[in-house]
A and B are shown apart, each in its own frame.
Chain A
């Protein structure tokens, strides 16, 4: 527990001091909320914006962050003190869950002020989505297996995917068949045994591959000495 506690407190302090990532995961959905304000008829329409927050937190804040720390060789000393990759990963996920929750509170508060949505209902469903989307955090851990790709390359590619997904999110387009934000936002609308089964199998795959990647997570950089 002390390892999770140490990294979690450190990460939260960094998050609150260096506000850009928090602003990034909050301001963007708020802007899109106002751009698409005419469509917001009820609380569940916010699911698209919750998906944006979760994608930003779990992909950028967990997988890409682990790649960044590996590339800079910043974890060597701490891993010599305690080499548990899983505890380090759990602390990253907990940090991003907290970050996502803070972003949800801000987004839902603004939405409740300007649009016909219930803050309490929005908080309940968005918190549920934070938990249901946890396999995405495990999926993002697979980014650490791309040893030949630099952090800069990976973050650029993910940012491009993110923005394309974002801009096509609210209208009908073929690209939405592979839009990760659409799938994230639809988790709350699962119906029937088949959809639950797909979710369970998909989650299991994300978790298994993520755990495998974490077990093989190297903290020595191959990009720099």
Chain B
């Protein structure tokens, strides 16, 4: 469980208390509401916040921009990520995983292509599935569904389901409300510089009446 107590950062997040359980969690918020900043704090990219965050020691965080040359090949990207992650894995394991999520044809065709030859959605798909292959307790994604077509969204959902089935924690942000058909998810809302849990939202709604 990730627990956040009295988190404040700059003028974007104020005195937020929230906890995320293992399973599927997502934070809904309008554009510019501070979702990315919150994930930066949670993943340890931003240190100089006030308050405490615990349970975030073993996570991977995929933000919207990645350092990678468009002129390099897809295989260079995979090699880089696997090497950076201490190479507990072999390529055979990686390919077996890719096959299990139905992306073997995609990866076979793209393997020797330059990353620039992939469409924006394909690049996002490649980065997303490779990050999900790595073994972590928590997976944190910033707007993973943005700019992805319906087929791509279905694939990402399938991968998220697998992570949840493996007792992993998933936390992502979205500026759209998302319904999952086969999975329980907990939606949080980020507004007015604070994150509200579902119960708090209901309570707020009742108190508004």
Contact = CB atoms under 8 A, between A and B. Distances in A.
A80 B65 contact: no
Contact of B43 (A13, A72, A76): A76
Given A17-B72, A18-B71, A77-B63, A225 B36 contact: yes
Contacts of B85: 2, 81-82
A180 interface: no
Contacts of A220: 40, 45-46
B71 A17 contact: yes
Contacts of A13: 69, 72, 76
A14 B68 CA distance: 9
Contacts of A6: 80, 83-84
A73 B44 CA distance: 14
Contacts of B62: 77
B84 A3 contact: yes
A75 interface: yes
B97 interface: no
Given A76-B40, A77-B60, A77-B61, A10 B80 contact: yes
Contacts, number: 77
Contacts of A5: 83
A74 B134 contact: no
Nearest to A72: B65
Contact of B84 (A18, A69, A74, A82): A82
Chain A's interface size range is: 20 to 34
A113 interface: no
B37 to A, nearest CB: 8
Interface string B41-71: 0011111000000000001111101111101
A103 B124 CA distance: 36
B186 interface: no
B67 A74 contact: yes
Contacts of B43: 76, 80
A75 B67 contact: yes
A64 to B, nearest CB: 15
B58 to A, nearest CB: 11
A216 to B, nearest CB: 9
28 contacts: A2-B83, A2-B84, A2-B87, A6-B80, A6-B83, A7-B84, A13-B69, A13-B72, A14-B69, A14-B72, A18-B69, A69-B67, A72-B65, A72-B67, A74-B65, A76-B61, A78-B67, A79-B45, A80-B44, A80-B45, A80-B59, A80-B60, A81-B81, A82-B84, A82-B85, A218-B46, A218-B47, A220-B46
Given A77-B62, A81-B81, 20 more contacts: A2-B84, A6-B80, A6-B83, A6-B84, A13-B69, A17-B69, A17-B72, A18-B69, A72-B65, A73-B65, A77-B61, A79-B45, A80-B59, A80-B61, A81-B60, A81-B85, A82-B85, A220-B40, A220-B45, A225-B37
Interface of A: 2-3, 5-7, 9-10, 13-14, 17-18, 69, 72-83, 218-220, 225
